[in-house]
């Protein structure tokens, strides 16, 4: 019965220590046959029986330890250079691991697949945080990096950044770049920084044949990521994410509203100021405004916008939204070119002219959406999954921990392989 509970067919249970208030200790030894020396082929003899204590899965709600009575073998031939060696059994525990193999695979799934915290699992196992984390890295890295089939041909690739950590006495922000298969919604990898250097290295390592399969490259309005695609994926069509285009228009509208507010009243928006009262109505889609809402918005703009600067920017924002009502790519490109030219007029507010310059620089990427119909939305969804991992971990200080945990949770590893991998 004890051997069944231990669940290891190749071991013999020697005994159990059950002391109240302490871990349950199960003593086992391997049933492996006597080995022969790898140097001379002589049958080995037992030199000593060291006992190694390993963290094991809980038993009946109690933290357990597996005490492995190992064999240190010795070659009896004095002329042999091999000397002695320790007997190993990967089914019990991998070499240099302080945890049993089954406990290591169990915690990898608990933390990686279900986003449990390392500390929570460490409390359940009754061991140190570092013991659990080191085991997670060993099994997690093998599951992620040693599986060549974790992702195959990628036809739509997305890039985006996430705040990784705040470091140093001044809380300097450190970012990471997520590389995502947009069609599958799968995190492919995480690289440090939000510049183009690391993503270029990652794409270069994938090889030309793999890169040539990428047809669409989605991004927000990021210059460094655009340079990555220009350099490493010249054959892919770049697609600017519609959400970020409209978001930029709303940001410029709010920037204009705050500038006019300070210029006309000399202070930031107060509760009863006209422009402050209409701040939410300005960012709402025009077609979603009912008659009362539109009347209220126009009345507040007349009261708080003497030079019609905010009104002009509001119309520019709505015109940008009209880009995505087109169904023809050529007509959409003509619309963007004409709109950017109109926005460049010197009579327009500075925020509108800035929008016009952005439209002109990104016109091909913006109108490519009408052909591709792919967005960076799946990349943003992966970012949300990564943020959940960060919340469970209460933040990260090590990029290696951050990368492995993120890929285990959002990288769609083949969990069926967990029982077959060899920890690193």
Q: Is 68:29 a contact under the CB 8 Å cutoff?
A: yes
Q: Is 72:49 a contact under the CB 8 Å cutoff?
A: yes
Residues 6+ apart with CB under 8 A from 209: none
- Residue 31, pLDDT > 90, answer no
Domain positions in the chain are 2-145, 242-372
Average pLDDT over residues 41-53: 90
Report the residue count for the chain.
424
CA atoms of 68 and 11, how far apart (whole Å)? 9
pLDDT at 5: 67
pLDDT at 6: 66
Q: Please report the sign of the dihedral spanned by the C-alpha atoms of residue 77, residue 83, residue 86, residue 90.
A: negative
Q: How would residue 150 be classed by pLDDT, with cut points 50, 70 and 90?
A: very high
CA atoms of 70 and 67, how far apart (whole Å)? 9
Which of 341, 342, 349 is closest to 312 using CA atoms? 349
pLDDT at 4: 65
Q: How would residue 33 be classed by pLDDT, with cut points 50, 70 and 90?
A: confident
Q: How would residue 1 be classed by pLDDT, with cut points 50, 70 and 90?
A: low
CA atoms of 42 and 31, how far apart (whole Å)? 20
pLDDT at 20: 79
Percentage of the chain beyond pLDDT 90 is 80
CA atoms of 340 and 128, how far apart (whole Å)? 60
What pLDDT, in 10s, does the model give residues 230-287?
A: 999 999 999 999 999 999 999 999 999 999 999 999 999 999 999 999 999 999 999 9
Q: 78 — phi, psi (to 5°)?
A: -65, -20
**Which pair of tokens denotes residue 327?**
């169904």
Residues 6+ apart with CB under 8 A from 293: 281, 284
pLDDT at 151: 93
- Residue 222, pLDDT > 90, answer yes
What pLDDT, in 10s, does the model give residues 303-361?
A: 999 999 999 999 999 999 999 998 888 999 999 999 999 999 999 999 999 999 999 99
SS3 label, residue 67? strand
Which of 84, 186, 172, 146 is closest to 421 using CA atoms? 146
18 CB burial (10 A radius; 0-12, 13-18, 19+) = exposed
Element (H, E) at 103: helix 101-112
- Geometric angle at alpha carbon 249, from 248 and 252, rounded to 5°: 85
For the ranges 62-66, 340-344, 384-388, 402-406, the lowest mean pLDDT is seen at 62-66
DSSP code of residue 42: P
- The more confident residue out of 7 and 72 is 72
pLDDT at 38: 84
- Residue 197, pLDDT > 80, answer yes
Strand boundaries in 303-415, DSSP class E: none
- Residue 9, pLDDT > 90, answer no
Q: What are the angstrom distances between the C-alpha of 354 and each of 129, 282, 343, 349, 420?
A: 51, 19, 8, 9, 56
């Amino acid at each position: 019965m004890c051997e069944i509970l231990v669940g290891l067919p190749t071991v013999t249970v020697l005994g159990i220590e059950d002391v109240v208030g302490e871990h349950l200790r199960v003593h086992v030894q391997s049933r492996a046959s006597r080995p022969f020396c790898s140097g001379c082929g002589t049958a080995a003899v037992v030199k000593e029986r060291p006992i190694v204590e390993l963290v094991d899965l809980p038993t009946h709600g109690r933290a357990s330890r597996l005490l492995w009575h190992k064999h240190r073998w010795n070659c009896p031939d004095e002329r042999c250079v091999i000397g002695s060696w320790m007997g190993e059994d990967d089914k019990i525990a991998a070499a240099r691991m302080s945890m049993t193999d089954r406990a290591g695979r169990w915690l990898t799934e608990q933390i990686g697949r279900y986003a449990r915290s390392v500390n929570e699992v460490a409390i359940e196992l009754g061991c140190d945080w570092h013991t659990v984390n080191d085991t997670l890295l060993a099994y997690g890295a093998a599951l992620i990096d040693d599986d060549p089939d974790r992702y195959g041909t990628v036809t739509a690739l997305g890039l985006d950044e996430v705040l990784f950590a705040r470091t140093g006495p001044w809380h300097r922000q450190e970012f990471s770049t997520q590389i995502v298969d947009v069609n599958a919604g799968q995190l492919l990898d995480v690289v440090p920084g939000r510049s183009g250097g690391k993503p270029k290295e990652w794409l270069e390592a994938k090889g030309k044949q793999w890169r040539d399969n990428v047809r669409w490259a989605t991004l927000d309005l990021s210059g460094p990521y655009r340079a990555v695609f220009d350099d490493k994926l010249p054959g892919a069509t770049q697609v600017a994410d519609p959400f970020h285009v409209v978001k930029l228009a709303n940001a410029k509208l709010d920037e204009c509203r705050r500038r006019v507010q300070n210029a006309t009243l000399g202070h930031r928006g107060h509760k009863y100021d006209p422009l402050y009262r209409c701040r939410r109505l300005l960012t709402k889609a025009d077609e979603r405004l009912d008659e009362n809402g539109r009347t209220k918005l126009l009345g507040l703009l007349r009261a708080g916008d003497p030079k019609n600067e905010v009104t002009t920017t509001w119309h520019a924002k709505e015109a940008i939204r009209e880009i995505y009502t087109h169904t023809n790519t050529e007509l959409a490109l003509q619309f963007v070119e004409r709109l950017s030219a109109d926005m460049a007029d010197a009579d327009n507010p500075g925020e509108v002219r800035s929008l016009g310059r952005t439209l002109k620089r990104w016109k091909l990427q913006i109108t490519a959406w009408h052909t591709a119909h792919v967005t960076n939305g799946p990349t943003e969804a992966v970012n949300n999954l990564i943020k959940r991992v960060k919340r469970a971990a209460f933040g990260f200080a090590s990029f290696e921990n951050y990368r492995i945990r993120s890929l285990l949770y959002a990288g769609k590893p083949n969990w069926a392989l967990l029982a077959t991998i060899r920890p690193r």
